[in-house]
Amino acid sequence: MASLQLPRFRDSLGLPLRLLAGLATVAGLFFVFLKIWAEVAEGDARAVDAAILLSLRVAGHPDVPIGPTWLKQSMIEVSSLGGTTLLGLLIFAACGYLVIKGARIRALMLAAATLSGAGAIFFLKNAFGRPRPELVDHLVAAQSMSFPSGHAANSALVYLTIAALASDVEPGRSARIYIMAVAMTLTILIGLSRLYLGVHWPSDVAAGWALGAGWALAWRLAAARYSLVSTS
């Protein structure tokens, strides 16, 4: 009798433990964001920020990036993967696919997660009001405030959320790992491209990654919780 009840006990205990681990991760990511915010507000991040930006420029030439000549154009193209237009098209396409597959609630959650996240990022940029770096020349145009990096935050939010939804319908473990690895790689490269182009401080990008990933995971947990309730 006890042997029949033990697997059931493990199943009932497993989901709450995973949920608690997820919530702890969300809290940790938001804490990292707030910690960076505090460091920037107090001016403690300035020295490290400046050192990293200058390391990406030829010594004595803040207008000349390091590396071969083709790298600048490559970084511009990578940066565009985190732009509003492309991310908006990705969200639209992903939501349409989910609706066609009959997953309307997931489509709604994807739209709500990305739109609410974009709104929060816009609000935080204007609330903090940090100017763009003037230490090095900007290699692309940038008009909005600097903290947090919208490209870093929005790419983390969108790519990680879409990857999580894609993983839900992919039965193979290796394929799920690959999907998430691609999303994380894109997110990291987009953030690094903003540093190379000189339009963000490193702390902007790090804070953007933490905020976007935390927001994506929070909505992922909400989607998982909805699936549990709706099937119980």
pLDDT tens track for 78-120:
999 999 999 999 999 999 988 998 888 888 989 999 999 999 9
Tokens 């790992």 belong to residue: 177
Two tokens, residue 80: 């565009």
3 and 183 Cβ atoms separated by less than 8 Å: no
- Cross-strand partners of 208: none
Single-letter amino acid, residue 83: G
Which residue would you say has higher pLDDT here, 43 or 186? 186
Mean pLDDT of the chain, nearest integer: 87
Q: Pick from 157, 206, 193: which is nearest to 33 by CA?
A: 206
Max intra-chain CA distance, the chain: 77
Two tokens, residue 32: 């990292």
**Domain residue ranges in the chain:** 28-231
Q: Pick from 120, 127, 111, 87: which is nearest to 211 by CA?
A: 120
- The stretch 200-208 carries a mean pLDDT of 97
| pTM (2 d.p.) | 0.86
Q: Is the pLDDT of residue 12 over 60?
A: no
Q: Pick from 102, 99, 122: which is nearest to 111 by CA?
A: 99
pLDDT digits (tens, 9 = 90+) for 119-162: 999 999 999 999 999 999 999 988 889 999 999 999 999 999 99
List CB contacts of 30: < 8 A, sequence separation 6 or more.
210, 211, 214
List CB contacts of 133: < 8 A, sequence separation 6 or more.
49, 53, 146, 198, 199, 200, 201
